């Protein structure tokens, strides 16, 4: 039986990539993950049951994103061994690890800090932006060399597949991420929400475009719940905005299940949250771009906005609310974990045979 080890950039947040790794651990029955940093209190509880091997000391795990200048070297010194093959989850770092075995890299996105500067650098100080600009050519060369060393490359969407080709000149195979209900039980969040509300799930990232989602919900006559780290700063119940911050999976399940619609306004490589909501029968209203073109089917699981404007997204919110919930659930079930694991297992076997 093939021994599998997982690798991931860093486990310090609650995001789509981290949820994929948690699903891999369950779907493949793997108990070990190699990563740059691990912060148990700020990521998924599922990792507490695994053997997580982190390179960066726990005392520094909360500062990992501030360690950017040193991360390429730290990643290169992170050794992955003790298995027949590694399944690697990367948004910029894990494919740079040192692998003692064949490794299949599952790319969520080529590193935004290198290839999508407008998305990433807005969050940096002027000094750090200047430093990153100067060092980008060297960092890109090292990044490309590391990706070229992969035994096989898998993209999470057609959007990412195209970005991989542009960034690295390499081919990849698309396998959509696994999507399971976020929790077996639904528990109301610690604060009361209106009877009718929209929801947007997004961490504090400029490319998530949360402000557009908020304004569109208001224009559609709905309050909106904003879920994700940093969303507390947006809290304005009098204005119809409920910034819930980070919530438990059970609370997120309740929010998905009770929302009138989930809103997607950002530039997504895949768009996992709209499928998590779909499994609860909640339709999506999104911009017609990026990964949403693969995770939403107009008239079946939701509606697309004609343009990324408040008025058009508001109209999509109104239309999406009329979609049949059972059709939405059926759409979501097509992305369940079993199909994902079977497809990925086949690609892993092929990669091991070629190695």
Question: pLDDT (tens digit, 9 = 90+) per residue, 233-259?
Answer: 999 999 999 999 999 999 999 999 999
Q: Which pLDDT does position 126 carry in this prediction? A: 56
Question: pLDDT (tens digit, 9 = 90+) per residue, 24-65?
Answer: 999 999 999 999 999 999 999 999 999 999 999 999 988 887
* Domain 4-178+336-354 sits in CATH 3.40.50.2000: yes
Q: Which pLDDT does position 123 carry in this prediction? A: 53
DSSP string computed for 123-177 = GS-HHHHHHHHHHHHHHHHHHHHHHHT-SEEEESSHHHHHHHHHHHS---EE-PP
The answer to whether 4-178+336-354 and 197-333 have equal CATH topology is: yes
Backbone angles phi, psi at 33, to 5 degrees: -130, 130
For the chain, residues with pLDDT lower than 50 are 120-122
Q: Which pLDDT does position 122 carry in this prediction? A: 45
Q: Which pLDDT does position 224 carry in this prediction? A: 98
Q: Which pLDDT does position 204 carry in this prediction? A: 58
What CATH code is assigned to 197-333? 3.40.50.2000
DSSP class of residue 178 equals P
As beta bridge partners, residue 155 has: 107, 174
Domain boundaries, the chain: 4-178+336-354, 197-333
Backbone angles phi, psi at 164, to 5 degrees: -60, -40
Question: pLDDT (tens digit, 9 = 90+) per residue, 200-213?
Answer: 998 656 567 899 99
């Amino acid at each position: 039986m093939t021994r599998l080890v997982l690798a991931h950039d860093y486990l310090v947040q609650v995001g789509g990539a981290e949820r994929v790794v948690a699903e891999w651990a369950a779907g493949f029955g793997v108990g070990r993950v190699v990563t740059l940093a691990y912060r148990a209190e700020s990521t998924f509880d599922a990792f507490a049951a695994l053997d997580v091997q982190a390179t960066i000391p726990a005392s520094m795990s909360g500062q990992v994103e501030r360690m950017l200048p040193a991360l390429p070297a730290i990643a290169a010194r992170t050794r992955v061994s003790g298995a027949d093959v590694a399944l690697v989850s990367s948004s910029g770092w894990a494919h740079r690890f040192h692998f003692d075995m064949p490794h299949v890299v599952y790319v969520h996105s080529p590193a935004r800090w290198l290839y999508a500067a407008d998305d990433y650098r807005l969050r940096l100080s002027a000094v750090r932006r200047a430093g990153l600009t100067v060092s980008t050519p060297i960092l890109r060369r090292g990044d490309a060399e590391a990706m070229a060393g992969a035994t096989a490359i898998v993209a999470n969407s057609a959007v990412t597949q195209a970005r991989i080709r542009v960034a690295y000149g390499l081919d990849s195979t698309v396998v959509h991420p696994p999507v399971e209900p976020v929790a077996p039980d639904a528990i109301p969040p610690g604060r009361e929400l209106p009877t009718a509300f929209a929801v947007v799930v997004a961490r504090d990232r400029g490319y998530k475009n949360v402000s557009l989602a908020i304004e569109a919900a208001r224009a559609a006559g709905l309050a909106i719940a904003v879920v994700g780290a940093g969303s507390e700063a947006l809290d304005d119940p009098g204005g119809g905005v409920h910034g819930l911050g980070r919530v438990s999976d059970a609370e997120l399940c309740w929010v998905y299940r009770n929302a009138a619609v989930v809103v997607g306004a950002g530039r997504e490589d895949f768009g996992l949250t709209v499928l998590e909501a779909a499994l609860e029968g909640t339709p999506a209203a999104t911009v017609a771009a990026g990964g949403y073109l693969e995770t939403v089917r107009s008239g079946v699981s939701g509606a697309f906005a004609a343009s990324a404007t408040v008025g058009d997204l508001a109209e999509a919110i109104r239309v999406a609310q009329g979609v049949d919930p059972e059709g939405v659930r059926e759409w979501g079930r097509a992305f369940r974990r079993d199909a994902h694991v079977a497809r990925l297992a086949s690609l892993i076997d092929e990669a091991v045979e070629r190695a």
